[in-house]
Structure 1
Amino acid sequence: MSHRDAPSPSGRRRHNRPIIDESVNFPVNQATTQSSLFSRLSCIGRLIAVLIWAFWAGCLQALFIRLPGPAKIRLPRVFWYTIGRILGLQFRVIGTPAGGIRTARDVQNGERPIVYVANHCSWLDIIAVGGVLHTVFVAKGEVGTWPLIGTISRLGRTIFVSRNRQNTGKELHDMADRLWDGDDIVLFPEGTSSDGSRVLPFLSSFFAVAKPGRLEQAGMPKPPPVLIQPVSIVYDRLEGLPVGRSRRSVFSWYGDMDLTPHIWSFGQWRSMRATVLLHPPLNPEDFKSRKELANATFKAVRDGAAQLRQGLVPDGQN
């Protein structure tokens, strides 16, 4: 066992097991059984609390999105932060968000909306980013059809996109409209989630709203000037101990993994931590091409994530 990894408890699958309190003087089988039962009951309680909170927050947001003012922007951050805390997820923020809450008039007067660009390894990334930033997510279209999650996404004013190139113009139009309205947006330009041990190369097409090409400019209104802020997300604590390679599967959701079993296993751990590292913003105008901008953003996110995994980044803003 590496000293940099959470210890391996007894009685459950290797990478999705809650810690057993070895200080309790039970025989091994009894301790394992009671710990496993407690973990499952705790998970059920957390999931019920999530559903109750989602219902009441959803009712409020359904009202707020019909009213003027920033409440519809502020509530999603409170919502995701609270979801994280219910699940036992702590947040550590290093760096300063370049964005904030602004109006359409602010954008017209020259304020630049922010496009946050982050790595992606899990459904937890939505909670980690949403809990610390005032932002609108860009998600694949099928998310909008998922029970409960789709409803939450729509109430959070998510922009849904598809892989159909025929819809690209409309989707860029929607993003440009949100930016002109004063919203910040977040992109996960890997195009899929990873196993958490590396950052996959960024697809330059995701940066079209920040640096549109001739084809996009011909088919959509010109978006306002924006800044790109790279964001590195790493889950670096589990039960208070550093997370090594063998424990990243507790957090990572990728490939053909089923969502429900992953949530069930994750919910049986007591405490976790997500570190969100906010890098200095990049000005798209400083780059000759969209690909160059994508590569510079990728390097910042990749290097930051690697440093976080190695424990080389000191605490900053919390």
Structure 2
Amino acid sequence: MDRMRARLKTGGLLCWAAAGIVGQGSCLLMPGKMYRRFPLFFWNVACRILNLQVHTIGERAGSLKPRPDGRRVIYVANHSSWLDVLVLGKVLPAFFIAKQEVRHWPLIGYLTYLGRTIFINRNRQEAGQDVQEVIEQLRKGYDIAFFPEGTTSKGSGLLPFMSSLFAIAKPVQRRDDPAAKDHPACIIQPVSVAYDRLEGLPVGRHRRSFVFSWFGDMDFGPHLMGLGRWRSMRATVMFHPPIKPEDYPSRKALSNAARATIEKGNEDLRQNRLRDDATSPDHTRP
């Protein structure tokens, strides 16, 4: 039964990914915001196929509608698995930043491309150009989400943050650069993600690392099949109070503040310090 369940879920997810390419491609041709709403729907169904329930704590700072203060929202979150994309994609109406390698993944690469994911290089010589591309999306009024760790971890703690990515919120001000003066005002919202229930039971350190987390040289296919054998899973997403980049003297200070907040929230979730009735399931308000 476990093998049958895993095969059905894996096949269903791959078929839905193929259907999502057609759906998102069609939405790009439609007027309005359908191309921004469809990813929320797509990742919602993907979570349902895996029977992955998503609970949230706190209030999301942004939506499909502009904020009253005119600021763009940049969501930063910890990263332990490819599942983070499903979980956050379900609740965040934002464009994601991903490493260039994701662009070449079968099905998922093309799907994320249609979803307006911004692919960046790890090469420092090209980092400046990538940052400018992200800032351009902010100027157009879109919110952004990214994983400052730059790669996945075992889920038992956070890796160091790449402070250079925070240049999209706090660019270097140069007097001879007119674009710097046109930088859109932003806020940073730290987000903690933890996988805390497996078939209704609390998740311990071992299962968090070797059931949910996807790191190192793990192959995608076996990891997906391993997840598919479980009947139910749960992820909890904690939205922390937003912080203003101008309150910090440097990108490093801003990065450290966001990391400390996310780490504390992640630790609370891992230790089950928060009551279940403090969470609200399926927070998908656009």
TM-score scaled by structure 1?
Answer: 0.83
- Residue type matched to 1:229 in 2? Q
Structure 1 residue 57 displacement after superposition:
2.7
Moved more, 298-307 or 263-272: 263-272
One-letter amino acid of the counterpart of residue 24, structure 2: Q
Q: Which amino acid aligns with 1:281?
A: P
The match for 1:93 is 56
1:204 shift after superposition: 0.9
Q: What amino acid is the match of 1:290?
A: R
Which stretch of the first structure deviates more once superposed, 293-302 or 261-270?
261-270
Contact 2:190 2:241 in 1 (8 A): yes
Conservation of the 8 A alpha-carbon contact between 1:117 and 1:186: yes
Q: 2:204 aligns with which of 222, 240, 244?
A: 244
Match of 2:227 among 247, 266, 274: 266
Q: What is the aligned partner in structure 1 of residue 258 from structure 2?
A: 297
Give the C-alpha shift of residue 130 in structure 1: 0.4
CA distance in 1, matches of 2:113, 2:7: 26
Change (3 A) 1:69 1:40: same
Does 1:113 find its partner at 2:72?
A: yes
Give the Cα separation in 1 of the matches to 2:267 and 2:149. Answer: 16
Which portions of structure 1, spanning 4 or more consecutive aligned residues, are displaced by more than 6 angstroms?
Answer: none
Match of 2:169 in 1: 210
Distance 1:220 1:167, change over 3 A: farther
1:251-296 per-position Cα deviation (integer Å, ceiling 9, x unaligned): 0011111111111111111110000000000011111111111111
Picking from 156, 162, 183, the partner of 1:197 is 156
Q: Deviations over 1:152-182 (max 9, x none)?
A: 1111110000011222222112111111122
Q: Structure 1's 190 and 217: CA in aligned 2 closer, same or farther, altered over 3 A?
A: farther
Would you say how many aligned residue pairs link Structure 1 and Structure 2? 277
Contact 2:20/2:111 (<8 A) preserved: no
- The equivalent residue for 2:104 is 145
Q: What is the RMSD computed on CA atoms of the aligned residues?
A: 1.9
Q: Do structure 1's residue 42 and structure 2's residue 5 form an aligned pair?
A: yes
Match of 2:186 in 1: 226
Q: In structure 1, what is the Cα distance between the partners aligned to 2:29 and 2:176?
A: 31
Measured in 2, the distance between the counterparts of 1:74 and 1:173 equals: 25
Provide the rounded CA distance (Å) in 1 between the counterparts of 2:2 and 2:164. Answer: 43
Rounded Cα–Cα distance in structure 2 between residues aligned with 1:134 and 1:204: 24
Deviation at 1:85, TM superposition (A): 1.1
Deviation at 1:143, TM superposition (A): 0.7
Verify the 8 A CA contact 1:46 1:267 in the aligned structure 2. yes
Residues 119 and 189 in structure 1, CA contact (< 8 A), matched pair in contact too: yes
Identity, in percent, stands at: 47
Q: 1:157 to 1:309 in 2, by over 3 A?
A: same
Three-state SS of the structure 2 residue aligned to 1:131 is helix
Unmatched 5+ residue regions in structure 1?
A: 1-37
Quote the residue 2:83 is aligned against. Answer: 124
Unaligned regions of 5+ residues in structure 2, if any?
A: 282-286
